Structure 1
């Protein structure tokens, strides 16, 4: 009697400039948090795309300039196929940024699902189109494989209505215009890992700062979302790498009515030309901008004000969420900037000293799991996120259920 072939879940996180992937053992119980193998293609739309994985160092690759995302996905499929070694893919989990007011649970992907999700592209144009494109291609190329959509908006469904409703005519709420919140897979992971590391403290008044190229905060109580900084779209809240964050809507009216920018030009400005890149004129990466703070003249001034504004917006929003929570017990930094930029954490915590936060400079420098002192009234922590595990876990549960 032959031994059944091991089955795997492939997780795909498709963005505008990168595709991350990971393989998990679909039969493992409990599902290990570390994937069997993972990697990414990055710089997809740029001049020098790169590939790397768990065993392969970063290497430059060539992609079809007319269809770079399709080419990147094909490369990943080929590398995965070469790695299977008798295993087979039984499901593909996709991170999808926006589920709108229809999708709040992991959902089996069908043609109708893709059509419904396409209608939400204007709400997340940097993210929404790419997993949908991958779903459509994989339907054709791997037709027998289950595909599951896992939504970043789903975690925030626990927010009270007062946090979801927008101050527009009530008919807007009835049409689905509301605060959805994003980075939900990341926050979902925090709801699992934080109590393991911090015990009952994590069930109290917690704020998680997901700081990457996109950035948001989530206020959690009893490990559930009660408020977040992103809203109807992925533009709201914190200043980001190239996105504005919260902005006076009158400024948009001015750009369109007085400066005569088209709708497309305004969209490009808000999503691609603003944030750290727009203010500094240097980069969307804090670690790059900080190197120019001491430059002479306008370049140095713009670098300094860009970082000062970046930090100020984080501090302001943490203060606002602390008020909503009625205090703060635990502050957690995660994602690329949050996990690896000690100077950003130091400046944020310096400006939050009024909350009783005291930073351990040495622990912060080495990216330790806890970076506050024992005398700090608020514990400050670092926790690497793991969106891929959440997507694989949701898919595994759906497979078992049905």
Structure 2
């Protein structure tokens, strides 16, 4: 019998899961088995797993999220065989200033983490719902929370502060940063593959449905584009990114939008979807770009905001040695990468077009002063590794 760690990555409309075998040392980076329930709350939810394409799955329409969790539990238990679950590790988006390392969850910590739901409403409540459900139905094995904000606890104080009255800082209003599990994994891979070069001035671009940049020195976070909430920084699939707060005042004072309406607009109706009116997916927009001004505008602003923020981070770093793309768009969309890199000529960046089209790891030319890489992220393995270390089964 071998022990497995189950990792759950819960979003508002999907739950990813992965099982890692702790009997193998070091912990394998590829899961023993993984899958995803997608489209939770929609009319056509799907379930997909290792080696099997997603197919329809029946979920209770009145309680689709608990039903999705129950579906995963049922499938996992059916596949356990002679294995047992050693722990359940959760990607929890927000740990605030208090949680800088993974923790084993109890009722008190769960209640504490609920305070951060307003700062990450697309992810925090759903991860906590999964944790609460398992605490009630399966109090053993232990559950471990791994925080997306933790990697950014190395941010200098000046990067954490917001230009609000100092009392706001004292109340905990500060820039936290997100996508930390992803950045932590990339930092490990960079150290393994690029050695001292990666310890210099590096920017990692985590570009998916949510998106942010992280500036690293010595493989530690020194600046990032997401701040107090997951709305800040880059333009995203349905989120606006950085926005003049005066626009929000106008929407509420003049157009009389309620707080809930503004929240819906900023999280779900903005970004690529809001401008294009078609889709939040850059792949779909690239297919419909010709002759469609709104789609052209959406893609142009999307790329421009990324380039603009890269430039700002380069200024803070005092130059740039490496640029790394990761996450869904960053790993798989060669055209978006090409458009970004074309605007970085001032950094003496030169892209190998063939390598880029093939999603190769190294996509810069030999003549490029800037090293440009594409590295798939692995948040689930990072969470499993933290759970294993916290339980004393492996060195941290």
- What's the TM-score once normalised by structure 2's chain length? 0.98
2:8 aligned residue: 12
Correspondence for 1:359: 351
Q: Secondary structure of the equivalent of 1:99?
A: coil
Q: Which residue, 320, 333, 338 being the options, matches 1:341?
A: 333
Alignment match of 2:25 (pick from 21, 26, 29): 29
Q: 1:121-162: CA deviations, max 9, x gaps? A: 110101100010001111122122100000000000001001
Distance 2:229 2:177 in 1: 8
> Who is 1:245 aligned against?
241
CA distance in 2, matches of 1:39, 1:146: 21
Q: Aligned with 1:310: secondary structure?
A: helix
Across the two proteins, how many residue pairs are aligned to each other?
394
What is the alpha-carbon distance in structure 2 between the residues aligned to residue 318 and residue 45 of structure 1?
Answer: 36
Structure 1 Cα separation of the partners of residues 9 and 346 of structure 2 = 38
Look up the match of 1:205: 201
Identify the match of residue 307 of structure 2 among 306, 315, 320: 315
Q: State how far apart, in whole Å, the 2-side matches of 1:252 and 1:183 are.
A: 25
Aligned to 1:71: 67
Distance 2:23 2:106 in 1: 24
Q: 2:34 aligns with which of 34, 38, 42?
A: 38
SS at match of 1:225: strand
Q: Which residue of the partner structure matches residue 169 of structure 1?
A: 165
- After superposition, the CA RMSD in angstroms is 1.0
CA distance in 2: counterparts of 1:157 and 1:29, whole angstroms: 29
Deviation at 1:57, TM superposition (A): 2.1
Inter-CA distance 401–86: structure 2 relative to 1 (3 Å threshold): closer
The aligned counterpart of 1:108 is 104
Give the 5 Å matches for 1:3-402: 5-295=1-291, 300-400=292-392
The offset of 1:380, in angstroms, is 0.5
CA distance in 2, matches of 1:144, 1:33: 25
Q: In the aligned structure 1, how far is the partner of 2:133 from the partner of 2:46?
A: 22
Q: 2:42, 2:200 → 1: CA distance?
A: 43
* Deviation per residue, 1:55-83 (Å, 9 max, x gap): 32221112111111111111111111011
Deviations 1:344-394 (A, max 9, x none): 000000011111000111000010001110000101000000000000000
Show structure 1 runs of 5+ residues with no match: none
Deviations 1:159-201 (A, max 9, x none): 1001000111111111100000000000000111112222211
Residue deviations 1:306-333 (CA, integer Å, cap 9, x gap): 0000000000000000011000000000
- Could you tell me how far apart the structure 2 residues matched to 1:364 and 1:20 are? 28
| Higher mean displacement: 35-44 or 275-284 | 35-44
Helix, strand or coil at the partner of 1:11: strand
State which drifts further: 191-200 or 126-135: 191-200
Deviation at 1:101, TM superposition (A): 1.5
Q: Shift of residue 27 of structure 1?
A: 3.7
1:279-334: CA deviations, max 9, x gaps? 00010000011111113xxxx00000000000000000000000110000000000
Query: Take 1:401 and 1:256, find their aligned partners in 2: how far apart are those partners?
Result: 52
For residue 50 of structure 1, report the CA deviation from its aligned partner: 1.2
Question: Which stretch of structure 1 is more off in the superposition, 272-281 or 199-208?
Answer: 199-208
- Partner of 1:21, secondary structure, is strand
2-structure distance, mates of 1:111, 1:307: 44
Query: Greater shift after overlay, 136-145 or 216-225?
Result: 136-145
Greater Cα shift, 58-67 or 244-253: 58-67
Give the structure-1-normalised TM-score: 0.97
Q: Counterparts of 1:312 and 1:72 in 2: how far apart (Å)?
A: 38
